[in-house]
C-alpha cells in the first residue's frame, strides 16, 4: 500500500510538472504574441432591439497562435490575467478597437459615423491605475470621440464596488460609456445598481437562455430596475427568433447574438447587418 501510495504521488507530481511547464510555455508565448502581432480583434454587431438599426460592435480578442490556429479568449485570457499580461493586452485592445472604428468612419462616414465600439476590460486591468492612461491614450491617438467607446467590465469585478468604484468613476469621467457585463451571474443587488457609475447593463446569455415566454418575470424586473436607474439594457446571446421576441417584449434596448451576427474580422469591413423585421 505504501509503494502504491508513493507511485500515486509520483504520478501526481509528474502531472503537476507537466501542467506547470505547459503554463510557463503558454505565458511566454503570450508575451511574445502581442509583440509579434498575433492578436486580432473580431467584431460582433450590437443592434437596436426594436428598429434593428446598427448601434455598434463589441470587440473580441483572438490569438492567431502559430501551429494552434485561431485561439479564443477563454483559452488564454485567464492565463494572461494570472501572468499580468492582460494589462498590456488590454491596452492594445483599447487602441486597436478605437483606431479601427475611426478607420471605418473615415471610409464610410454615413454607415459608421454614429457607431460605438465596446471593449472588454479585465478586473485585473481595472485594479491598475495605468488603465486610465490606457483609455486616454487610445482615445487621443485615434481621435475617437470618447462617447463612442464603451468599456465593459464584468459584474464579478464589482463585488468590491468600493475598491473599484473610484477607478470606474474616473474612467467614466473621461467621457467613455461604462457597461456592466454578464449581469445576473454575480451578486450585484438591484440596490447596488443605483450606486454604480454605469451607463449600460448587459444581461448575461444564461438568463436569456433560461427565460421562456411563460417565465419572463426576472428579466422584466431587471429591465425595469435598470431603466429606473437610467441604464440602457443590452441582451446578449440571442440565438433564435423566439429569444429575440422575448427580450424585445421585456423592454431590452439593444440586442446581440449569433442570430443577428457572429463575431467577424475587421477586414473586410463587417457587413452592415440587415434591419431586423419588427414584430
Partner whose footprint covers residue 74, from Ca ion, ligand C2E, none (CB < 5 to 8 Å by kind): ligand C2E
Residue among 31, 107, 47, 67 at smallest CA distance from 235: 47
Question: Could you give the string, one character per residue 95-124, with x where binding to Ca ion holds by CB under 5 A and - elsewhere?
Answer: -------------------------x----
C-alpha–C-alpha distance, residues 144 and 150, integer Å:
12
C-alpha–C-alpha distance, residues 143 and 137, integer Å:
10
State which residue, 96 or 182, has the beta carbon closest to Ca ion: 182
State which residue, 134 or 152, has the beta carbon closest to Ca ion: 152
> Quick one: 109 exposed, middle or buried, by C-beta within 10 A (0-12, 13-18, 19+)?
exposed
Q: Name the β-bridge partners of 71.
A: 63
**DSSP secondary structure string for all residues of 76-89:** THHHHHHHSHHHHH
Question: Could you give the string, one character per residue 141-180, with x where binding to Ca ion holds by CB under 5 A and - elsewhere?
Answer: -----------x----------------------------
Q: 3-state DSSP: the chain helix, strand, coil percent, rounded to 5? A: 50, 20, 30
State which residue, 12 or 271, has the beta carbon closest to ligand C2E: 271
Taking the complex as a whole, the smallest distance from the CB of residue 81 to ligand C2E amounts, in Å, to: 8
C-alpha–C-alpha distance, residues 186 and 10, integer Å:
39
Asked if 181 interacts with Ca ion (CB under 5 A), we say: yes
Residues within the interface to ligand C2E (CB under 6 A): 44, 60-61, 72-74, 77, 86, 90, 93, 120, 122, 181-182, 205, 237-239, 257-258, 263
φ/ψ of 12, rounded to 5, equals: -60, -45
Interface segment toward Ca ion; rule CB under 5 A; list 37-45, 129-137, 182-190, 223-231: 182-190
Asked if 55 interacts with Ca ion (CB under 5 A), we say: no
State which residue, 21 or 59, has the beta carbon closest to ligand C2E: 59
Partner whose footprint covers residue 60, from ligand C2E, Ca ion, none (CB < 5 to 8 Å by kind): ligand C2E
SS3 assignment for 249-273: HCCCCEECCCCCCCCEECCCCCCCC
State which residue, 58 or 104, has the beta carbon closest to ligand C2E: 58
Binding residues vs Ca ion (CB under 5 A): 120, 152, 181-182
Amino acid at each position: 500500500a505504501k509503494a502504491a501510495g508513493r507511485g500515486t504521488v509520483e504520478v501526481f507530481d509528474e502531472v503537476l510538472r507537466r501542467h506547470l511547464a505547459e503554463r510557463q510555455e503558454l505565458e511566454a508565448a503570450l508575451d511574445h504574441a502581442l509583440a509579434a502581432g498575433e492578436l486580432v480583434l473580431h467584431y460582433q454587431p450590437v443592434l437596436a432591439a426594436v428598429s434593428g438599426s446598427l448601434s455598434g460592435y463589441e470587440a473580441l480578442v483572438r490569438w492567431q497562435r502559430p501551429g494552434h490556429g485561431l485561439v479564443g479568449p477563454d483559452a488564454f485570457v485567464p492565463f494572461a490575467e494570472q501572468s499580468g499580461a492582460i494589462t498590456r493586452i488590454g491596452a492594445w485592445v483599447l487602441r486597436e478597437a478605437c483606431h479601427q472604428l475611426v478607420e471605418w468612419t473615415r471610409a464610410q462616414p454615413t454607415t459608421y459615423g454614429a457607431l460605438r465600439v465596446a471593449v472588454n476590460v479585465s478586473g485585473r486591468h481595472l485594479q491598475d491605475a495605468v488603465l486610465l492612461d490606457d483609455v486616454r491614450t487610445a482615445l487621443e491617438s485615434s481621435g475617437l470621440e470618447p462617447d463612442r467607446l464603451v468599456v465593459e467590465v464584468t459584474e464579478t469585478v464589482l463585488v468590491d464596488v468600493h475598491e473599484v468604484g473610484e477607478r470606474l468613476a474616473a474612467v467614466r469621467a473621461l467621457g467613455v460609456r461604462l457597461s456592466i457585463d454578464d449581469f445576473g451571474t454575480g451578486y450585484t443587488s438591484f440596490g447596488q445598481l443605483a450606486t454604480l457609475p454605469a451607463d449600460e447593463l448587459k444581461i448575461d446569455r444564461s438568463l436569456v437562455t433560461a427565460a421562456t415566454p411563460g417565465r419572463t418575470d426576472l428579466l422584466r424586473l431587471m429591465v425595469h430596475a435598470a431603466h429606473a436607474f437610467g441604464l440602457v439594457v443590452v441582451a446578449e446571446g440571442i440565438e433564435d427568433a423566439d429569444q429575440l421576441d422575448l427580450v424585445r417584449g421585456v423592454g431590452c434596448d439593444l440586442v446581440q447574438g449569433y442570430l443577428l451576427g457572429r463575431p467577424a474580422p475587421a477586414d473586410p469591413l463587417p457587413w452592415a447587418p440587415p434591419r431586423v423585421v419588427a414584430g
